[in-house]
Amino acid sequence: ASAEIGVIGLGVMGANLALNIADHGFDVAVYNRTEERTREFAAGAGELSSKIIPTGSLEEFVAAIRPPRPVIIMIKAGDPVDQQIAALKPLLENNDIIIDAGNANFRDTMRRFEELKDTGLTFIGMGVSGGEEGARFGPSIMVGGTEASWNRVSDVINAISAKFNDEPCAAWLGENGAGHFVKTIHNGIEYADMQMIAEIYGIMRDGMDMKAPEMAGVFDAWNSGPLDSFLVEITSKVLATGDDKTGKPLVDVILDAAGQKGTGRWSAIESQQMAVPASAIEAAVGARSLSAMTGLRAEAEELLGRPDLGRFEVGGNAAALLEQALLAGKVAAYAQGFAVMAAASKEFGWNLPMPIIAKIWRAGCIIRSRFLDEISEAFTKTPDVANLVMTPEFSRIVKETDTALRTVVAEAVRKGLPVPALSSAVAYFDQLRRARGTANLIQAQRDFFGAHGFERIDGKGENHGPWNMGN
């Protein structure tokens, strides 16, 4: 048994991970449900083929790996993972490690971890971000499981991960579901980032009459400033790409109905479960859902009419204001995502290391950016801060971008341009920084109809109102 690790599932992600492992000098056993795919993969591995051990059965696969055996499963999330675990279980031995590298719901990961507990086997839920390219040349890797199981795989995982200033963008983040939870929040933030970029694009397209190539230039310029990020970079590239068939910008011929596989939605659901608002992520998930209702939107445009309220006018440098507004929106989304992780960390006893999470997101993953380098610095200086916006660095950004965010959202609303995620950021900041809010009225109402009681601000006296007296 010479393989250091095994990979089950040779779809694009699994195949690329296996090549990445081989590329770093480790022997890797591979197995796929259809043997034909395994053969094809091995045949196409070129000079890496000496490191790849193709196997035709699970027995052969398991026998090829050095114990305790780490087995990466990279297949469709959900039932197939349970079936794969069931098939592997009888073949594995004490201390072998099943690693689910797909986008699993962390609650499934927790369950699988528990289910394997008494078998002598252990489980790692591993979030992998970076798409196909990342899997092949360096993803960001978020690991949850026992520390002992991490120690068995850390050499390989660190080696194949992306690097930021030579530091691996991979880390053990805590027990059981910690890695998949963090990956889920990563994706929730990814959704918010993408939605806010799309809202800015909508303002440029529908409010400023800009064409895709012109917008590409704006995003490209932003990619050298505080918004420097993978998503802004690819946005610029997308906008600059033409369609072979029509000669139009490609983006103009793509149907405006966004897909989603679940991770963004889970982020929003879990944030609500934790009672920590993630309104930017929720707005992004909701916007994808509404985008998919293409028929309803067409009918509604007919029935309600599309507001034609004139051009988006902010006076002066609109691009600079949009840039600042996007930055402000990002602050809200990331602050919310990290706050949800802090709450989950307490609830599940993970002790999630916020500075390390920010660090391993600096390279390899989809949300990698200059901004994350700043977040990692802020959390390194103040690891226990209650909310990212309370750090000196980010409170400064919130203040500096405040006028831009407000101006952009107000003008977009005035002109009928939808900005659900950006406007959620304004509302979030405005509620956050108002020490005396309006929930006193809600408490009175609750007490009125349900005798739920309330606290007084002076701590004195009765905690019920006289609502029913005299009725």
Closest alpha carbon to 230 in 190, 289, 182, 264 = 190
In terms of Cβ atoms closer than 10 Å to its own Cβ (0-12, 13-18, 19+), residue 393 is middle
**Should residue 187 be labelled a site residue for ligand 6PG when binding is judged by CB under 6 A?**
yes
Is residue 450 part of an annotated ligand binding site? Answer: no
* Annotation says 237 is catalytic: no
Q: Is 229 in the site for ligand 6PG (CB under 6 A)?
A: no
Q: Give the DSSP H/E element, type plus range, for residue 388.
A: none
130 sits near ligand 6PG (criterion: CB under 6 A): yes
Structure-token match 């009918």, residue found: 299
> Would you call 225 helix, strand, or coil by DSSP?
coil
Output 12 or 444, the one with its CB closest to ligand 6PG.
12
Q: Is residue 452 annotated as involved in ligand binding?
A: yes
CA–CA gap between residue 471 and residue 20 (Å, rounded)? 75
- Tell me the residue type at 204: M
Q: Does residue 260 belong to the site contacting ligand 6PG (CB under 6 A)? A: yes
Residues 6+ away with beta carbon under 8 Å from 206: 417
- Cβ 149 to ligand 6PG shortest distance, Å: 22
What is the spatial distance between Cα 139 and Cα 269, in angstroms, rounded to a whole number? 26
For residues 104 and 82, the answer to whether their CB atoms sit within 8 Å is no
Cα separation, 296 vs 291, in Å, equals 10
Cβ nearer to ligand 6PG, comparing 130 with 286: 130
Give the 3-state secondary structure of residue 415: coil
Omega before residue 80 within 30° of 0, cis: no
- Closer of 321 and 366 to ligand 6PG (Cβ): 366
> Does the annotation place 368 within a ligand binding site?
no
Going by C-alpha positions, the residue among 374, 368, 333 that lies closest to residue 130 is 368
Are 191 and 285 in contact by the 8 Å Cβ rule? The answer is yes
**215 alpha-carbon distance from chain centroid:** 25
- Report how many residues bind ligand 6PG under the rule CB under 6 A: 13
Task: Check the annotation: does 56 bind a ligand.
Answer: no
CB of 429 to ligand 6PG, least distance (A): 26
CB of 127 to ligand 6PG, least distance (A): 8
Minimum Å gap between C-beta 402 and ligand 6PG is 30
Residues in the chain: 471
Catalytic residue among 190, 270, 282, 323: 190
422 annotated to bind ligand: no
**438 assigned to a ligand binding site:** no
Binding test (CB under 6 A) with ligand 6PG, winner from 169, 170, 366, 408: 366
77 annotated ligand-binding residue: yes
CB closer to ligand 6PG out of 117 and 261? 261
- In the set 183, 282, 323, 359, the catalytic residue is 183
User: How does strand 28-31 pair with strand 122-129?
Assistant: unpaired
Residue 131 annotated in ligand binding? yes
Counting contacts by CB under 6 A, is residue 261 touching ligand 6PG?
yes
User: Quick check: 291 binds ligand 6PG (CB under 6 A)?
Assistant: no
Tell me the closest approach of the beta carbon of residue 451 to ligand 6PG, in angstroms: 44
Is 281 annotated as a binding-site member? Answer: no
Is the CB of residue 101 less than 8 Å from the CB of residue 326? Answer: no
Which of 207/264 has CB closer to ligand 6PG? 264
In the residue annotation, 190 being an active-site residue is answered as: yes
Who contacts 238 (Cβ-Cβ below 8 Å, separation ≥6)?
Answer: 216, 250, 251
Residue 259, interface with ligand 6PG (CB under 6 A)?
Answer: yes
Stretch 312-351 residues interacting with ligand 6PG (CB under 6 A): none
Residue 209 Cβ vs ligand 6PG, minimum distance, rounded to whole Å: 29
Q: Is 416 in the site for ligand 6PG (CB under 6 A)?
A: no
Report the alpha-carbon distance of residue 130 to residue 368 in Å, rounded: 9
Give the one residue of 20, 55, 195, 263 binding ligand 6PG; rule: CB under 6 A: 263
- Which of these ranges, 70-78, 126-134, 145-153, 203-211, lies near ligand 6PG under the rule CB under 6 A? 126-134
Listed in sequence order, the DSSP H helices in 24-146 are 35-43, 58-63, 79-88, 106-116, 131-137
CA end-to-end span of the chain, whole Å? Answer: 83
Cβ at position 245, least distance to ligand 6PG in Å: 25
Residues 6+ apart with CB under 8 A from 389: 331, 332, 335, 395, 398, 429, 432
Structure letter (DSSP) for residue 438: S
76 touches ligand 6PG (CB under 6 A) = no
Q: Note whether 271 binds ligand 6PG by CB under 6 A.
A: no
- Residue 103, interface with ligand 6PG (CB under 6 A)? yes
Known binding residues for NADP(+) are 9-14, 32-34, 75-77, 103
Q: Which residues bind ligand 6PG (CB under 6 A)?
A: 103, 129-131, 187, 190, 259-261, 263-264, 365-366
Known binding residues for substrate are 103, 129-131, 186-187, 191, 261, 288, 446, 452
Which residues are marked as active site? 183, 190
